[in-house]
Amino acid sequence: MAESELAVHNLSVARGGRPVLRDVSINVPRGEITALLGANGAGKSTLVLTIAGVLPALRGSVSCEGVQLLGQPPDAVRRHGVALVLEGHPVLTGLSVRDNLAAAAMMHARRDAEREIEAALEIFPELRNRLSTAAQNLSGGQKQMVVIAQGMIARPRYLLIDELSFGLAPSIVSRLAETIQVIAQRGIGILLIEQFTTLALALAKTALVLERGELVFSGSCEELRNNPEILHGAYLATGKKLAGSEMAQEL
Q: Closer CB to ligand ADP, residue 16 or residue 239?
A: 16
Q: Closer CB to ligand ADP, residue 44 or residue 155?
A: 44
Minimum CB–partner distance for residue 208 and ligand ADP (Å): 12
- Which does residue 136 bind out of Mg ion, ligand ADP, none, counting CB within 5 to 8 angstroms by kind? none
- Which does residue 125 bind out of Mg ion, ligand ADP, none, counting CB within 5 to 8 angstroms by kind? none
CB 11 within 8 A of CB 60: yes
Minimum CB–partner distance for residue 179 and ligand ADP (Å): 22
**Sole binder of Mg ion in the list 45, 100, 142, 144 (CB under 5 A):** 45
Q: Is 206 in the site for Mg ion (CB under 5 A)?
A: no
Minimum CB–partner distance for residue 63 and Mg ion (Å): 23
List own/partner pairs for 194-199 with CB under 8 A and 24 or more apart. 194/35, 194/37, 194/161, 194/163, 194/164, 194/165, 195/163, 195/165, 195/166, 196/165, 196/250, 197/35, 197/37, 197/231, 197/247, 197/250, 197/251, 198/250, 198/251, 199/165, 199/173
Minimum CB–partner distance for residue 244 and Mg ion (Å): 18
- Which does residue 29 bind out of ligand ADP, Mg ion, none, counting CB within 5 to 8 angstroms by kind? none
Report the distance separating Cα 172 and Cα 127, nearest Å: 14
**Sole binder of ligand ADP in the list 30, 44, 89, 130 (CB under 6 A):** 44
Could you give the string, one character per residue 157-196, with x where binding to Mg ion holds by CB under 5 A and - elsewhere?
Answer: ----------------------------------------
Q: Closer CB to ligand ADP, residue 108 or residue 196?
A: 196
Q: Which residues bind Mg ion (CB under 5 A)?
A: 44-45
Task: Tell me which residues touch ligand ADP (CB under 6 A).
Answer: 15-16, 20, 38, 40-46
